[in-house]
Structure 1
Amino acid sequence: MASQPKTDLTVPTLILQQLGGERFKAMTGAASFAGDEQMLSFRLKASITKNRASGMRIYLDVTDTYRLELLKIRNFEVKVIDTREGVYAEDLQRVFTEMTGLDTHL
């Protein structure tokens, strides 16, 4: 039986830490985290977000900045409703709040 190659989760772990880690999860209700070598994705509660968004994907670009995609997910259909590019790590929480209306910390 062949083993599956392991995915390097360094980037999604770093993105979650930059968002605020466990405090981010508690403040936003984000859940169902997934990631790969260059991206973190998670679900949001549509009833409490701006534009009734239900998910987000955050990509690390080759320029060492982030691209954020705010999503509406319904009936297995994913629609990107807002995108921000060129976001620096220190601006990640602020841009997330602008896009979703959710605070990442007290």
Structure 2
Amino acid sequence: MCERVATTADPHFRNARILNGMAVSAPPILKTLKTKDMIAKTILQQIGGKRFTAMTGSRDFIDMGNGLRMSLARNKTSANRLDIIYDEGADLYNMRFYRRTFSKKTFECKTKDIAVHEGIYFDMLEEMFTMVTGLYTRF
């Protein structure tokens, strides 16, 4: 027969709980997407998604909470990083192209801003990216 399981203070205890005197496993905990998690995914979709990644060679996508950071392939401005930050108040984006270098000799990390654009609408993200880097995002 079924064994009785000791209850805990949390009714959704992961291992087991008592329901009508019988031990049953707890329902799986569903992870809900928060708006902070969705911002980076939305930005990537707005700039082209997988097509953007394939066309530009961008990699190392990092969710910054309110934006997206990525490493860029070689381009005309020598920028190797891009931050796209979402401004919730104005519903606009800020783009920061910069070059980050690391010295293996002195272990210093230097950052040089290449281009900073503020107040960009979502439909202008691809165009601004192409204008600064020279990398096309579509055929």
Where on the TM-score scale, by shorter chain, does this alignment land: which range?
0.7 to 0.9
* Structure with bigger gyration radius: 2
The one-letter amino acid paired with 1:51 is: T
Identify which of 40, 48, 51 aligns with 1:20: 48
TM-score for the superposition, normalised by structure 1: 0.87
- Distance in 1, Cα, partners of 2:44 & 2:112: 23
Q: Which moved more, 1:78-87 or 1:9-18?
A: 78-87
Equivalenced residues, count = 99
The equivalent residue for 1:81 is 114
Where do 5+ consecutive residues of structure 1 fail to align? 1-5
Q: Distance in 1 between matches of 2:117 and 2:70?
A: 17
Q: Which residue of 1 aligns with 2:94?
A: 67
Q: Which residue of the other structure, out of 64, 68, 71, is the alignment partner of 1:36?
A: 64
Unaligned runs of 5+ residues in structure 2 are 1-32, 103-108
Q: Percent identity?
A: 33
After superposition, where does 1:88-99 map in structure 2 within 5 Å?
A: 88-99=121-132
Structural RMSD (CA): 1.5
State the 1:41 CA deviation: 0.4
Which of 1 and 2 has higher RCO (CA within 8 Å, sep 6+)? 1
More helix by share: 1
